Amino acid sequence: MNSKTLTFQSKLRALFEQLLVDEGSQLTKKELRAVDFYLKSPEHIGLSGKDVAREIKVHPSTLVRLAQKLGFKGHPELKRYLIKTTQSFEDARERHLHTNNQMIGNVLHATIAQEIEHLKLITSTLTQQQLDQVCHLILNAKRVYVNGQDNTEGFAEHFTRRLMRSGIDAKEVSMSRSKLAERFSLSEKNDVLILIFNNELSDNTKRLISLGRSLDMQIIGISDLSSMVVPDDVYLIRIYRGETKGTKSVSPSLVVSNAIIRNLTALSPNRTLQGLKRFELIRANVDALLR
């Protein structure tokens, strides 16, 4: 067992003990089994009450009683609290390690290692089924509109170009009032609006969601805020990096967009490859004209 696991266990055990003291509660043997299960791995924190009950072979009501003894209405509330609190454990540890590496002059190594660890966490919240779902929305749309907020604005342009190269009629959307109206003037029902945002669900993003909804568009959100709540009609691709706050890095969005492009090719190879061939032909003609 490595030091990281031991640190997680000690902090989580102390957290449970403090909650019990605060509530003046005593746990049964079955409830203690649930606590021990949580202590074994950080991955257990995000499981549903039914999943935990199945793993430790108890009735789901055991998890409800445990949550109530710890001062929560039910297991979903306990789960959200544990996720938020254990994320703060990891954030503090990451900051400590990153600072130490900077102090010894290993900034490049520290930055790359941190990015790799965070990128590995993408599959903890994004499944192939979800990827297929958003790709089918894109393929079934006549047009796709892409908007990037905060530091993803430039990246949205890159993603739009990637879609166009794959045979998708894609347009980048800016928040300029006149340009915004023009961009959507030819939109149709079930066209797709892709919103990329890292740090918050800004007022501009909310306005675009309302506009897309009024135009009967399918709305896809790409965000790395693990605690974010979005409207039910937004197909959210949630990129979890093990952080409680949004990141300034665009690498998670870049990885997910690459996955979308590759998945479009897998789902509709003829269309995407024809689009790519046409793009290459046009680019060759443009290069010849501009020599």
Edge to edge, the sheet with strand 144-148 lists 170-172, 144-148, 192-196, 218-223, 234-238
Question: What dihedral do alpha carbons 9, 15, 17, 18 form, nearest 10°?
Answer: 160
Tens-place pLDDT, residues 157-183: 889 999 999 999 999 998 877 788 888
For residues 237 and 254, what is the distance between their CA atoms, to the nearest angstrom?
13
Give this prediction's pTM. Answer: 0.62
Give pLDDT, residue 223.
82
Give pLDDT, residue 2.
45
What are the boundaries of each domain within the chain?
Answer: 3-90, 123-289
Residue of 15, 24, 253 whose CA lies nearest to 119:
253
Q: How many CB atoms are closer than 10 A to CB 275?
A: 20
- What are the φ/ψ torsions at residue 267 (nearest 5 degrees)? -80, -30
**Extended strands (E) in 134-257:** 144-148, 170-172, 192-196, 218-223, 234-238
CATH of domain 123-289: 3.40.50.10490
Q: C-alpha angle with apex 273: 270 to 278, nearest 5 degrees?
A: 120
* The pLDDT of residue 263 is above 60: yes
Reading phi first (left if > 0) and then psi (alpha if -120 to 50, else beta), residue 249 is in beta
* The pLDDT of residue 206 is above 80: yes
For residues 129 and 132, what is the distance between their CA atoms, to the nearest angstrom?
5
Q: How many CB atoms are closer than 10 A to CB 241?
A: 28
Tens-place pLDDT, residues 66-91: 989 888 888 988 888 887 777 665 55
Comparison of pLDDT for 246 and 138, the residue scoring more? 138
Q: Which string of b and e fits 87-112 if b means at least 16 CB within 10 Å?
A: bebbeebbeeebeebeeeeeeeebee
What's the mean pLDDT when you consider all of the chain?
Answer: 81
Tell me which fold the domain 3-90 belongs to: Arc Repressor Mutant, subunit A (1.10.10)
* The pLDDT of residue 33 is above 70: yes
* The pLDDT of residue 184 is above 80: yes
